[in-house]
Chains A and B, each alone.
Chain A
Amino acid sequence: MSLLDQNWGGAGGADDEAQDDNQQGRQIVTTRDGTLMLIECTPEMFESLSNTMESDSSIDDNNELETGFQLVMRACQSFYQSKIISNDKDLSGIILYGTEKNKNTFDFNHIYILHELAQPSAERIMQLEALSNKNTYKKTYNDLFGSTQSKNYSLNEALWTCSNLFANSPQRLTIKRVFIFTCNDQPHASNLTLERQAKQRAKDLNDVGIEVEVFPILTESITKFDYKKFFQDVLMLSDDELELRNNQAPTGRLNELLKLVYSKEHKKRAYCTVPFSLGETSDGTPLQFSVSVFNMVRPCPKPTKIKLDMKTNMETKIVTKHYLPETAEILMPSDIQYGIDVSNRRVLFDADEIKAIKKFSDPGFQILGFKNISCLLPHHYVKPGHFIYPDEKYVEGSSCLFNALLKKCLEKQMFILCQFTARRNTPPRLVALIPQAEEINKKDPSDRIASNGFHVHYLPYADDIRTLPKNDIPRITDDKVDVFKNIIRGLKFKYRPDRFENPALQILWRNIEATALNKDKPEEFDDLTIPNVENQNKKVDKYTTEIKQMFFPPDYVMGVTKRAATKRKAEAAATSTSEKKRKPDDDVNVEAAARNNSLNKLTVPILKDYCKEKNLKAAGTKKQDLIDAIEKHLTITT
């Protein structure tokens, strides 16, 4: 996935500055990537693929992709599709070289800009589909680029075109990449000048921060791709890297592109960077270091529904106006006050005061003390937390003190209790800073399971904790508990947070894509959150049967059987049974009452239920509205 997701360079990230600015109410600097696909269109690209390539490209469902060109088009298509989900602000474009026709600002021969650098769209994707489809690709290609291919291109000019597109990009790009798709490991073998120019150009690109990547395509006639011949200098590979490349299967990285990925890319930057205050020394010096706050887990947003103008299918915007009901006068913010009605008195505040009420202290952590981890009770949670890591940018030396706190908290099994203000006008919350040591996967040292730092865990206030009645059911005996333990053992697995995809989100993404691209049906999705009861039963059948015999009468159907109201306390039974079998009775009641003109004697919930059942729409929510609706309904039906 690294090809899709290269937005992240090392810890601490240079991007959090942008976020800080954002926090201060400034411009939001969106960071975008730009990717250009530079695709060779020589006759070899239209040969059948080599066996290695064909068998490896798992994506090709029904042997659609016979030629290298088709394969590359499919890769570009997948890249676009994945980008739309992961980060649709990123820009991409496609340039072909070796074509008959040309289309570029410099009138270079045999260079054709198929897609300028822009955000992907459904049109582009459908065009690429036509260019990879077995039945249409030839005609589409010929129509667009001319039927013959030429080797008289200059890779130098092609790269120059790329560099020019980047230079003219309307957006600031953080990462600029050129992907070259070619089956020719020495494009200018016969022309040393061109070769030298191309290498020089590649170096220039590198100097201005444009990365170049090569995806070799192997065909029937071209079965080997030797980076040493030419591309070592283009990619600026060291000899070690060259060795590695030449031994790699050429399909590896291409497959990565071909794979459709439905996953959102998250901006990897700090939520905020704030001071962490330990208190004051005896001479009143505030003791502060600096930490960056990150969000490790947040619900991935669903694609937002937008409102379109039916006539044009174009986007619309909302304009919010405040006006006085009597005079329809449009008001300015300074004309607006905020009121709360309490006991017939309207209490007024202005906007600044509302803000001032929310403002307690400047953003940051204020230490209150330390507590034993065991003070954290299972239900102490209110909202998703953060992760903090020291920041040296604002206060040098933060890391060392932070590290010392971390080590000692881990050793003593303590957490830090702080008052935390995240933003300027956000009221403070109590947070527990839970120490986290680095954890490395023992089997794979490059897989870091957890980074070192503190988890910021929000604690509830007394106001947030509800008082619930005690539930004191007699405990069951140990021998019986053992049967349950067997079930647990049978159904135990190692939970990993990345294991389950969100079914609702995945289905929506796929459906939008299918609609946008005029597909008959969306890509399939395997929902792992639905437990396979059959499999579960296979593992624990023995024990569940035992449990059934242990606790239940023989004819009992779990989850269904209603209690025969025998020895239950009257009230408990009454509420649950009345609820269970209310429906038919109530209908009769309602209808009888309607006939007797005594509907208003029934309670609103009963009337409401009836309306719901019969699908009646009441004009309002008042009781009379419901009664009106029911009466109307009954005179029509009876």
Chain B
Amino acid sequence: MASNKEALALVVDIGVGMSQTAPGFDSPLQITSDILQMIVQRKMFQQSKDELALILYGGDETNNDLADENNYQNISVVFSLSPANWHLFEEIQKIKPGNNPADLIDAIVVAADHLRRETEGKRGYVAKRVLLFTNAATPFNDHSLKVILDSLRLQDITVDAIGPSWGQEEEDGDENDRPDSPTQTNGHNEDSASARPTTNGHHHHRNQKKPLTPQQKTGIRIINDIVNTTEGSLFTFREALGMLSIHQSKTVKPTATKYIMQLADIKLHICTYIQVKDNKPGIFRLKKVYARDPKSEIKVDRGRYTKDEHDEEIEKEELTDGFRYGTTFVPINKETLDDMKYQSEKCFSVIGFSDANMMRRSLYLGDTVYEVIAEPTYEEEAQTFTGLVQAMYDTNTVAIVRKCFSERSSPELGFLRPHIAHDHICMYYVKLPFAEDLREFNFDNLDVIKRNLPSAEQLKTVDNLITTMDLSHADRGREEAFQPELISDPYIQRMFQSIAQRAVTPDEPLSLSNTIMEMNDTLIQSIARKSKRTLDTVNEQFILRDTNRRQKIATGEALFGNNDISAKKARLEDNNEEFTTDSTSFEAQAAAKKKAAIKTVGTVTPVEDFKILIEQGSPSLTDVCKQMCTLIFDLINNSHGDSLFEKALQCIQCLREICIDKLEPKIFNDFEVVLKAHSSDIDGRKDFWKKIVDEKISLITSEECIESNVIPIEAKKFLEEETAIQALNNAPINNEQDDEEEDLFDLI
């Protein structure tokens, strides 16, 4: 199969005009650099086969195949056409403003020539494209424009131009012709994407609006001409970022799953396409590597062992499948298992129709919305399908469907909702629950209790709040704000940023942004301003009293129990909660992190590390003890058999001594309580607790340390008493976790 890669020349104006800007605003070049980085990142992360070249013009250097003494000066091909890589990324980061004149027409010619040379004789390019980044501030020569245009057309090269603005908010008509607009259901309003995530995340692009110079006006006219002739498009910076997400969605090729839809006697060929599904880029799959030698990947061994005190390993051949029936284990061999499976045929059968109002959104199940259309090859069937959609639409009904993907899969229940737009007709399929999937919760009517009844005055305040915070027309141009179609997943953005940042500057700590908040900063601020008054009134009229119960839990947890409260984490935390990000704080953190890297209790010589750190006096005693506690848990949890128990015991003894010494018995005592609870209910860790008892490592008593409020007899009892043992519970861990996204990042 021929690949369908694109050859893309990034042509960037680095001339004088691009770096001019009023103080406090980002220069067009800065914004360009961000957009370029994002393009390159995406190409790399998607392992795109597209090839890119980077051509700068307006700088000091001249490096291109066409250059001679008088012609094509100050144009430099910095990166020749090839798939995106880090080298290109670094070249972009290196871009510095130049102060030479350069001719944008010349630059386009060099780019076209470069594309021709590099693609000639090679196959697999579906498109050749020049992306021109400029604000058209420097003069150029257009005497041979016509020839050049012809040549571009001949070579089938498209030119897109990207700049701060193209005059009076031009709504360039040809945008609508692009078949892959992201907002198919809702028309086009890329303009309302008030801002888009960028490489540097915490950057706020404030891009200065100032009147165009006559030179710019001419430039824009010519660029317009080129773009139109080559069937390209003009984008503002903001739109360009929007375009990037188009580039991204292109990588998922829609694939149809075909069914025969049955309705009574009517059978129709249909296709289903994924319309909405949680997107987890494949690139996020993490490899486990050895910290001291990141080149070596770690292998995982998952051995099966008998579940008794012997811990004998069992060979694969000696295992059989089975189920639990109460406390009975029911072995079932593979053949029987297949027989037991529910047999179904592939199907898509309409069970009946129901009122669309019955389909509460809270019933939706599954992780996908499918678009369903008739298979176009079967013209008569497609018409029948259309008739059905129209009739369902008119009567406001949905169809309840039994759908089964294949003989091997379980049938599911779902419903079809008709959808008709002026240029589109389809149905949407969403899964519905079976009776077993419902959880019958019942909640009392809130009005039953008098004090839950808001007064007329209170209701009026809330009414005001809704009005001031109404987003339905809150965006620029009175469009709906925060449209799902226009908000990028902040986690994906952040992951991309982090990967790029770490790849380029491996030693720096990550700076973590929250793109939803940042990109919509202006809007959020303006709503916050508008609603402040009303919120004040809400605060006056509604009495909300914090019972402080949550705090108690939080502090208890902060001490122990949760591994993620490690020292490092604490430092990385919470940058993101502020809407505006302070760059100095990042630097401070960077310094802090580097320093701290030498200052943690390691697994190799924990006792020594711990003692040194205590002596140093920083980080604080509590912090170091916390680290030690975490480490002890790690040792116990990761010990195979009792191999690490000895080390853990030493650590505990050392921690105990230090705590007595430093008059902090509570740290140790709290720790031991957690340890006891922790050890006595987990298989195999009970042995460790036994060791503690054998070694008589008790709570620190008031006799040993005056700060302690534990009397010796209590301490003795503590060791002797067994905790209420949670009976061996070999259930596969609680099913309630089903909602947690269990991907690879949920570590430990």
Contact = CB atoms under 8 A, between A and B. Distances in A.
B503 A463 contact: no
Interface string B340-358: 1110100001111111001
A356 B512 contact: yes
Contacts of A471: 373, 376, 424-426
Interface stretch (B163-171, B241-249, B689-697): B241-249
Contacts of A414: 466, 470
B188 to A, nearest CB: 13
Interface in A348-404: 348-361, 367-372, 375-385, 387, 389-390, 393-404
Contact of B301 (A125, A321, A483): A321
A334 B603 contact: yes
Contacts of B441: 268, 294, 296, 387, 451
Contacts of B44: 342-343
B325 A122 contact: yes
B365 A340 contact: no
B576 A361 contact: yes
A244 to B, nearest CB: 23
Contact of B438 (A282, A297, A346): A297
A462 interface: yes
B561 A404 contact: no
Given A367-B469, A530-B349, A379 B290 contact: no
Contacts of B266: 544, 547-548, 558
Interface in B402-433: 402, 410-411, 413, 415, 417, 419, 423-426, 428, 430, 432-433
B324 interface: yes
B436 A501 contact: yes
Interface in B451-488: 451-454, 458-459, 461-463, 465-466, 469-472, 474, 480-488
Contacts of B322: 305-308, 313
Nearest to A535: B264
B384 interface: yes
Given A288-B544, A322-B300, A298 B739 contact: yes
Interface in B296-325: 296-308, 314, 318-325
Contact of A357 (B330, B428, B512): B512
Nearest to B433: A297
A425 B744 CA distance: 13
B402 A530 contact: yes
A12 to B, nearest CB: 8
Interface stretch (A52-60, A153-161, A508-516): A508-516
Nearest to A273: B550
Contact of A342 (B45, B331, B484, B562): B45
B747 A318 contact: no
A400 B365 contact: no
B621 interface: no
Contacts of B447: 403
B380 A502 contact: no
A11 B448 CA distance: 13
A487 B481 CA distance: 41
B698 to A, nearest CB: 23
A268 B439 contact: yes
B291 A337 contact: yes
A563 B397 CA distance: 31
B472 A346 contact: no
Given A325-B299, A395-B547, A495-B358, A309 B498 contact: no
A379 B288 contact: no
Centre residue among A25, A313, A400, A452 by max chain B CB count within 10 A: A400
Contact of A298 (B298, B329, B437): B437
Contacts of A423: 740
A581 interface: no
B649 interface: no
B378 interface: yes
Nearest to A325: B299
Contacts of A371: 470-472, 480, 482
Contacts of A370: 466, 469-472
Contacts of A498: 435, 438
Contacts of A629: none
A588 to B, nearest CB: 22
Contact of B542 (A338, A397, A499): A397
Contacts of A223: none
A344 B283 CA distance: 13
Interface stretch (B29-37, B128-136, B525-533): B525-533
A232 to B, nearest CB: 30
A80 B266 CA distance: 46
Interface string A441-485: 000000010111101010111111111111111111000111111
B367 interface: yes
A107 interface: no
A334 B602 contact: yes
Interface in A529-560: 529-531, 533, 536-537, 539-541, 544-545, 547-548, 551-553, 556, 558-560
B151 to A, nearest CB: 31
Interface stretch (B19-27, B177-185, B611-619): B177-185
Centre residue among A330, A404, A576 by max chain B CB count within 10 A: A404
A556 B383 CA distance: 14
A495 B488 contact: no
Given A295-B439, A488-B391, A25 B561 contact: yes
A453 B443 contact: yes
A576 B184 CA distance: 26
Contacts of B332: 512, 515
Given A306-B322, A464-B279, A488-B391, A403 B436 contact: no
A287 B352 contact: no
Nearest to B178: A467
A430 interface: yes
B745 A390 contact: no
Contacts of A287: 535, 538-539, 544
A419 interface: yes
B545 interface: yes
Given A121-B326, A287-B535, A309-B314, A337 B484 contact: no
A572 B376 contact: yes
Interface stretch (B98-106, B229-237, B701-709, B730-738): B730-738
Given A278-B538, A289-B544, A315-B307, A476 B524 contact: no
A544 B265 contact: yes
Given A314-B329, A385-B362, A481-B391, A298 B443 contact: no
A169 to B, nearest CB: 9
Contacts of B677: 27
A339 B284 contact: no
Contact of A296 (B185, B362, B374, B485): B362
Contacts of A339: 286-289, 294, 297
Nearest to A531: B351
Contacts of B531: 279
A308 B284 CA distance: 34
Centre residue among B283, B323, B379, B726 by max chain A CB count within 10 A: B323
A391 to B, nearest CB: 10
B487 A476 contact: no
A422 B739 contact: yes
B388 interface: yes
Centre residue among A124, A282, A541, A603 by max chain B CB count within 10 A: A282
Interface stretch (A65-73, A141-149, A211-219, A405-413): A405-413
Given A375-B472, A551-B380, A576-B375, A122 B289 contact: no
9 contacts: A332-B603, A334-B634, A339-B294, A343-B84, A370-B471, A381-B364, A463-B492, A470-B179, A568-B379
Given A308-B322, A463-B249, A493-B354, 20 more contacts: A11-B444, A121-B325, A280-B535, A310-B318, A311-B318, A323-B298, A323-B301, A333-B638, A335-B603, A369-B481, A427-B489, A427-B494, A471-B424, A484-B391, A491-B350, A492-B352, A503-B411, A507-B342, A558-B267, A568-B377
Q: Which 4 A-B pairs have the closest CB atoms?
A: A559-B267, A484-B391, A427-B491, A504-B410
